Amino acid sequence: MAVITFTIDDIQYSAHEGDTVLNVAHANNIHIPTLCYLEGLSPFGACRLCMVEVEGSPKLFPACTTKPAEGMIVRTKTDRLKKYRRMIVELLASEGNHQCAVCVVNGHCELQDLAYEVGLDHVRFPYLFPNKSLDATHKEFVIDRNRCVLCTRCVRVCHEVEGAHVWDIAWRGINCEIISDMNQPWGDSQLCTSCGKCVRVCPVGALLEKGQTVGELRKERSFVKFIVNARTKREWITNGIEEDE
Amino acid sequence: MTIDELRELAENERTRQKQYISRILYCSSAGCLSGGSDSVKAEFKKAIEEKGLGKTCELVGTGCLGLCGEGPLVLVQSADMTLYQHVDAKTARRIVEEHIVSGKKVEECQIDVNGPFFSSQKKIVLENMGKINAESIEEYIAAGGYEALAKAVTEMKPEELIGEIRKAGLRGRGGAGYPTGLKWDIVRKSVSEQKYVVCNADEGDPGAFMDRSVLEGDPHRVLEGMAMAGYAVGANQGYVYVRAEYPLAIDRLKLAIKHAEKLGLLGNRIFESQFSFHIDIRIGAGAFVCGEETALLRSVMGRRGRPKPRPPYPSEKGLWDKPTVINNVETYANIAPIVRNGSAWFAAIGTQKSPGTKVFALAGKINRTGLIEVPMGIPLRKVIFDIGGGTPEGSEFKAAQTGGPSGGCIPKEHLDIPVDYESLQTVGSIMGSGGMIVMDSTSDMVDVAKFFMEFCMDESCGKCIPCRVGTKHIYMMLDKVIRNEATEEDFALLQELCVMVKETSLCGLGQSAPNPVLSTIRFFKDEYTVKLKRATEFVPDEGNGAQ
């Protein structure tokens, strides 16, 4: 298998077939912010937070779907990228109803972490205050679409890992929403196995467990990669599973 | 079907046509149909029957005759060509009674076929419009149709065919201008048991109807082009993705496929060679984003029309992850003439970097609206003033908008710019698929930008954040400017957001959505700044405030 040598932020790294810029970076402790990406799920390329610069191209590339090429020079922390990452989080903050103070994942929320990371001290765009629905018909879980960032991790984990495909996206543009079955109440879903994977992968407090209050919900997300690894590569972890936190 | 049989068929059809002294060709495209060409057709039929002219005069529904603004149009072909405009049932009767019977033309409805609207054009893609019956494969064959396919399949190797297209320098007519031959070559060289050919007929730009007209007036030309693409790359299956809003185009395409299959021009062992090619139609459900190739391919597979990051390009991983050629209607329509007349002939038309012609749908504040085909590199001034006849009396030309919601405005100081891919980019616009909207002094450019932004906002698929949320905020900010409520700060933020959405969006829709805004700011900044609210000055409260 051919090894490719390329540069991330002035240091050379080697990559193998099937690698992406993002996983090489993560494997080498280079932090690139992500939101829709989750190890174990197919890359989606939608949040645009992992965009990097590649020397010789005026375009920006999402690290999660870009394959390293021999001699490629990647930059992950330029001023332009920092500015755009801040704006992306700013747009997300204005899009939904993100009130951290009353949220179950307050303190353990990926959107909140991103806001700290990109230095989002204020939002310059008017808040859209969407009037989206909340579905609490499921016996164990709730979906509050007002907090959804449309990363589609729930859609992908349900389709790719659980194999149930309860979730999908309806409508388009700013009106996009995650729906269960053919836009039927979640509690009525005959497909849902109540496995809870969607709740655990959700980066924000849009999918939650019933009976928890502000700041109580902690999500452990690394289980996806272990399941997928076990299933596809027949690799089992015998000496304990590392904790997310 | 062999080549000899094809030629015999063509000869028989030409003989059949010669038995008529005159042919009345009425426009049966959507534009003239909505203007009432159906009732005109009925009246012609009645009048011809009443006068007993059934053996000497043929009534034919043909493709778009160009001057859509003056429809319904009727072309009378006898010893010479006479074009009539604004034909209603009464005029139709007069045309039969006066022109056909007694040879006296109905002068008040006549348009000069040698006028500047027609003489400055160069027709390759639209060559059969006004010549053949849009629903007859025999008439297409009589006009030289399927000869190129016969030549390609029986005389040329796939590499030779691609070589011809590459030498001709044909570039994708969907807007991006990627060299067609190069794209085909990539697909041909990729190793796969199954490959596909797809035709993008999901024309969605507001004001654009080039592809619709081609499909309605000359559908076989597109099928022939697709079959040749299939032969060149080694595909045996093609799909035409048409938007559901084009019911007539869909009907004509279905009919054309049926006719071609019946004659063995599509299907198994075409021209008794090893080459088989089938074409199916897939109908879009009304999403603009499905014109983006990766979204279109997903839609063809029956999935939600959402773009995905490229690479991998469709030429490596397209339909069902197989190598796929995807081209626009107009690109396929150019293939047959290139193969028939040779690459040198095609390369000599237009400019060196952008050979050939481009079809434009001319609309807006202009005297002659309609469908035109011009050689690449023609000065914009010529298109607007010679062909389009300039803006209506009393108003002044202000800007031409090309490329629809993805394009930009070209102001009057750039009127002499040649119309080709690179030149239009230098002024911040794009060639696009061929919509050209003319604006005069009465048009408010901020309003124009807002219109296009509203379109993009509605049509965003919602996958990536910059496009989903960014277009909404850009739209709201433009609205704020129009309401005279935006400040200098808002205006600066608007520009910052536009650049960000352009650079970070996932697909072409989002990447180009801010173009109309950026382009109007570039050339018509004054129209924005006069609408801005002056920042309220801070006046310290004197006396009774808090200490």
What CATH number is associated with residue B31?
Answer: 3.40.30.10
Same structural domain, B164 and B292: yes
Q: Is residue A84 part of a domain?
A: no
Q: How far is A51 from chain B (nearest CA, A)?
A: 8
CATH for A181: 3.30.70.20
Average pLDDT, integer, range A156-174: 96
Q: Is A130 on the interface with B (CB under 8 A)?
A: no
Q: Is residue A111 in some structural domain?
A: no
- Residue B283 phi/psi, 5-degree rounding, is -105, 130
Peptide bond into B311 cis (omega under 30): yes
Residue B503 inside a domain? The answer is: yes
Total count of domains within chain B: 4
pLDDT for B6: 96
Nearest CB among A45, A48, A176 relative to B308 is that of A45
Say if residue B109 is in the same domain as residue B22.
yes
Domain boundary among B308, B324, B347: B347
Rounded CA-CA distance B329/B200 in Å is: 6
Partner-chain contact B476 A126, CB within 8 Å:
yes
Instruction: Decide: B437 and B410 in contact? Cβ < 8 Å.
Output: no
Measure the CA–CA gap between B323 and B315, rounded to whole angstroms. Answer: 5
Q: How confident is residue B542, by pLDDT bands cut at 50, 70 and 90?
A: low
Q: Which residues pair with A174 in a beta bridge?
A: none
Q: Does A143 touch chain B (CB under 8 A)?
A: no
Q: Which residues of B touch A (CB under 8 A)?
A: 287, 289, 304, 308-309, 311, 457-466, 468-473, 476, 493, 496-497, 500, 503-506
Q: Supply φ then ψ for residue B240, to 5 degrees.
A: -105, 120
Question: Residue A117 burial (CB < 10 Å; 0-12/13-18/19+)?
Answer: middle
Residue B533 confidence class, pLDDT cut points 50, 70, 90? confident
Range 145-164 of A in CB contact (< 8 A) with B = 149-150
Please report the DSSP string for A63-126 in residue order.
TTTPPP-TT-EEES--HHHHHHHHHHHHHHHHHS---GGG-TTTTS-HHHHHHHHHT-----SP
Question: Does B295 share its domain with B407?
Answer: no
Q: Tell me the per-residue pLDDT of B173-189, one tens digit each, with 9 for 90 and over.
A: 988 899 999 999 999 99
Contacts of A95 in chain B (CB under 8 A): 465, 468-469
Give a yes or no: residue B66 inside a domain: yes
Q: B546 pLDDT exceeds 70?
A: no
> How close A64 gets to chain B, by Cα (Å)?
10
pLDDT, tens only, A49-86: 999 999 999 999 999 999 999 999 999 999 999 999 99
A48 to chain B, any CB pair closer than 8 A? The answer is yes
Nearest chain A residue to B460 by CA: give it. Answer: A173
Q: How far is A243 from chain B (nearest CA, A)?
A: 30
Residue span of the structural domain in which B152 resides:
144-347
Number of domains, chain A: 2
**Of all residues in chain B, what percent carry a pLDDT higher than 70?**
98
CATH assignment of the domain containing A26: 3.10.20.740
Predicted local distance difference test score (pLDDT) of residue B79: 85
Instruction: State which residue of chain B sits closest to A172, comparing Cα positions.
Output: B461
B67 located within any domain = yes
Rounded to a whole number of angstroms, the distance from the CA of B317 to the nearest CA of chain A is: 14
Q: What is the mean pLDDT of chain B?
A: 94
Q: Quick one: closest CA in B to A86, which residue?
A: B500
Q: Is residue B128 part of a domain?
A: no
Instruction: Give pLDDT tens digits for A215-240.
Output: 999 998 999 999 998 899 887 766 55
- Average the pLDDT over B309-323 and give the result: 95
Where is average pLDDT lowest: A134-138, B139-143, B362-366, B536-540?
B536-540
Over 60: is that where the pLDDT of A21 sits? Answer: yes
pLDDT of B536 > 90? The answer is no
Q: Which of A88-97, A187-196, B373-382, B535-544 has the lowest mean pLDDT?
A: B535-544
Cβ–Cβ gap B461/A88 under 8 Å: no
What is the three-class DSSP state of A55? coil
Residue A26 lies in a domain: yes
Contacts of A59 in chain B (CB under 8 A): 503
Q: Is B206 in the same domain as B253?
A: yes
Residue where the block lists tokens 């000069």: B112
Q: How far is A216 from chain B (nearest CA, A)?
A: 28
Q: Name the nearest CA neighbour of B499 among A58, A144, A139.
A: A58
We report the CATH number of the domain holding residue B165 as: 3.40.50.11540
Q: Provide, as residue numbers in chain B, all residues whose Cβ is less than 8 Å from the Cβ of A46.
A: 463-465, 506
Domain-located, residue A33: yes
Q: Is a pLDDT exceeding 90 seen at residue B472?
A: yes
Q: Closest Cα to residue B173, out of B331, B296, B47, B35? A: B331
- Mind listing the pLDDT tens digit for each residue in B271-283? 999 999 999 999 9
Query: What is the pLDDT at residue B254?
Result: 97
Could you read off the pLDDT of B93-120 as tens digits, one per residue?
999 999 999 889 999 999 998 899 999 9
Q: Does A182 touch chain B (CB under 8 A)?
A: no
Which residue from B469, B496, B497 is facing A95, i.e. has the nearest CB?
B469
Question: pTM to 2 decimals?
Answer: 0.93
> What number of other Cβ atoms are within 10 A of residue B387's Cβ?
24
Considering the domain architecture, whether residues A132 and A72 belong to the same structural domain is answered as no
Q: If you measure CA to CA, which chain B residue comes closest to A169?
A: B304
Are residues B266 and B333 part of one domain?
yes
Looking at the structure, tell me whether residues B488 and B430 fall in a common domain.
no
Residue B89's nearest CA partner among B33, B49, B37 is B37
Q: Residue A225's domain spans which residues?
A: 125-233
Q: What are phi and psi of B484, to 5 degrees?
A: 60, 30
Residues A70 and A136 in one domain: no
Q: Give the pLDDT mean for A184-202.
A: 96
Q: Is A183 left (phi over 0), alpha (psi -120 to 50) or beta?
A: left
For residues B131, B135, B136, B141, the Cα torsion angle rounded to the nearest 10 degrees is: 60
Chain A interface disruption, residue of B289, B464, B477, B505, most A CBs within 10 A: B464
Domain membership flag for residue B130: no
Residues B319 and B395 in one domain: no
- Domain shared by B393 and B499, yes or no: no
A244 within a domain of the structure (yes/no): no
CA distance B462 to chain A (A): 4
Residue B447 scores a pLDDT above 90: yes
A227 and A171 share one domain? yes
Find the residue in A nearest to B473 (Cα): A125
**Residue in A66, A198, A68 with CA at minimum distance from that of residue A135:** A198
B287 contacts A88? CB cut-off 8 A: no
pLDDT at B544: 56
Instruction: Please check whether residue B464 is in contact with residue A48, taking contact to mean a CB–CB distance below 8 angstroms.
Output: yes
Last residue of a domain, one of B440, B472, B488: B440
**Among A48, A128, A183, the residue to mutate for chain B (most B Cβ within 10 A):** A48
pLDDT band at B543 (very low <50, low <70, confident <90, very high): low
Choosing from B313, B347, B381, the residue where a domain stops is: B347
- A53 and A153 inside one domain: no
Cα–Cα–Cα angle for B243, B299, A40, rounded to 5 degrees: 160
**CB proximity A4 to B under 8 Å:** no
Q: Is residue B537 part of a domain?
A: no
Judge if B436 and B491 occupy the same domain: no
| 8 Å CB contact of B465 and A91 | yes
For residues A148 and A48, state if they share a domain: no
In a domain, B119, yes or no: no
Task: Please name which of B416, B488, B491, B402 lies closest in space to residue B452, comparing C-alpha atoms.
Answer: B402
A136 domain-assigned: yes
Rounded Cα distance, B213 and B67, in Å: 12
Cβ contact (<8 Å) for B497 and A94?
Answer: no
Q: Which residue has the tokens 């382009």?
A: B519
Dump pLDDT digits (tens) for A90-109.
999 999 999 999 999 999 99
Q: Is residue A118 part of a domain?
A: no
Asked whether residue B234 falls in the same domain as residue B250, the answer is yes
- CATH number of the domain at B449, please: 1.20.1440.230
Q: What are phi and psi of B394, to 5 degrees?
A: 90, -10
State the pLDDT at residue B175.
Answer: 84
Please give the Cα distance from B137 to B90 (Å, whole number).
31
- How high does pLDDT run on average in chain A? 94
Q: What is the largest CA-CA distance in chain B?
A: 103
Contact A45 B464 (CB under 8 A): yes
pLDDT band for position B207 (cuts 50, 70, 90)? confident
Residue B378 has pLDDT above 70, yes or no: yes
Residue A2 has a pLDDT of 84
Q: Are residues A72 and A130 in the same domain?
A: no
Q: Is residue B327 part of a domain?
A: yes
Predicted confidence band at B547 (pLDDT cuts at 50, 70, 90)?
A: very low
Q: How confident is the model at residue A241 (pLDDT cuts 50, 70, 90)?
A: low
Secondary structure (H, E, C), B335-358: HHHHHHHCHHHHHCCECCCCECEE
Q: Is the pLDDT of residue B443 over 90?
A: yes
Q: Give yes or no: residues B199 and B307 share one domain.
A: yes
Whether residues A61 and A129 fall in one domain: no
Q: Answer whether residue B62 shows pLDDT above 50.
A: yes
User: Are residues A224 and A135 located together in one domain of the fold?
Assistant: yes
Examine residue A135 and state whether it is found in any structural domain, yes or no: yes
**B281 and B322 co-located in one domain:** yes
Contact B464 A175 (CB under 8 A): no
